[in-house]
Amino acid sequence: MVVVLKPGTARSDIEALVESLRELNVEASVTNGIGCSILGLVGDTASIDMDKITLNEHVDRVMRIQEPYKKANRKFHPEPTVVQVGSAKVGGGNFSVIAGPCSVESEAQIVSVAESVKAAGAAMLRGGAFKPRTSPYSFQGLEAEGLDLLLEAKAITGLPIVSEIMSPKLCQVFEEKVDVVQIGARNMQNFDLLKEVGHMSKPVLLKRGLSSTYEEWIMSAEYILAGGNPNVILCERGIRTFETYTRNTLDVSAIPCIKRMSHLPVIVDPSHSGGASWLVESLALAAIAAGADGVIVEVHNDPKHALCDGAQSLTPEQFGSLMGKMGGMVDLMGKRIVQ
């Protein structure tokens, strides 16, 4: 941490400040410039509140140097984390495709989609049982029954299941029934929920918040890791910008940046990013080219009658075609598609 002092700060004031910093268990060395002094702070600066130092009347600015995350930090864990889900793997050269409908709607629907995506080469089945909807008047999901229908689809296809959790009170049932616990974008900083899934044994798929920085996103993963759960998969799903032609703006740079900052795997959701089925292929291929470890794609057997997000869902045929193109791209990037 670096503390920049205001021009003309007296030597005695500097010394008093250095002394007060020592109480916070950090050592400060002083660099005296022409009319401006700088303190370099050494020690456990991650636990210091920068803002508080700013309150000192002689301080002009405080700048953090070390990242505030530890367990998720690539500096201290250079090897990429590989998350194992049944026979599937995410990370470290393995590319996994998660596919399925936005919402579980019926046994016939989820089994049909599961069989289609399995046949096309997906590694896991996604399906929402508890749905976060902007409107209280929209379909909120089949809830507990939805999880049971997912289990039926799993029994038939063997595909591990990924579903979104919205409340800490559901951790027990998700622990029992689900293979990967998804935290949605709107709950990325629902810290209470993050703490609870940190105690689960199942891998967590953590979506990026709509306006969360890379650092905030990794800090949310750090909550889960700090709770004892090392299996976090990060998922970029588009951020909110001024552009309204697409639902959100896929931040493809997030992939190489997160890989530089952290050892956790990163996948991409091309369906929610763009909000339109005709955009999925371009965004999925771009994600692979930028180094993603997987994609999560919405597939519905009858998009026109889907209970939510039909406009961004692929038909099984479109998904089959996409799998073919993704296969070539994954090969070119030197990775392998796992199933």
Beta bridge partners of 122: none
Among candidates 191, 185, 232, which has minimal Cα distance to 207? 185
Among 80, 230, 310, 320, binds a copy of itself (CB under 8 A): 310
Nearer of residues 86 and 230 to a copy of itself, judged by Cβ:
230
Residue 67 phi, psi dihedral angles, 5° rounding: -65, 145
What element of type H or E holds 89? strand 88-90
- Residue 23 engages a copy of itself in binding (rule: CB under 8 A): no
Site residues (CB under 8 A) for a copy of itself, limited to 88-147: 132-138
Choose between 41 and 296: whose C-beta lies nearer to a copy of itself.
41
Site for a copy of itself in 143-172 (CB under 8 A): 166-169
CB 81 within 8 A of CB 42: no
Shortest spacing between CB 28 and a copy of itself, in angstroms? 9
Considering only 9, 94, 273, 301, the residue that binds a copy of itself (CB under 8 A) is 273
Q: Alpha-carbon distance 6 to 59, whole Å?
A: 6
d(CA 130, CA 147): 9
Beta strands in 253-301 (DSSP E): 266-268, 294-298
Does residue number 11 form part of the binding site for a copy of itself (CB under 8 A)?
Answer: no
Q: Please identify which residue in 274, 294, 296, 335 interacts with a copy of itself, judged by CB under 8 A.
A: 274
Residue 31 in the binding site for a copy of itself (CB under 8 A):
yes
Q: Looking at this protein, which amino acid is placed at residue 300?
A: H
**Which residue, chain included where needed, has tokens 């909550």?**
223
Q: Which stretch in 78-86, 88-96, 153-161, 288-296 sits in contact with a copy of itself by CB under 8 A? A: 288-296
For residue 188, the minimal CB distance to a copy of itself (Å) is 8
Which residues are CB-contacts of 324 (< 8 A; sequence separation ≥ 6)?
A: none
Site for a copy of itself in 162-221 (CB under 8 A): 166-169, 186-187, 189-192, 195, 210-211, 213-216, 219
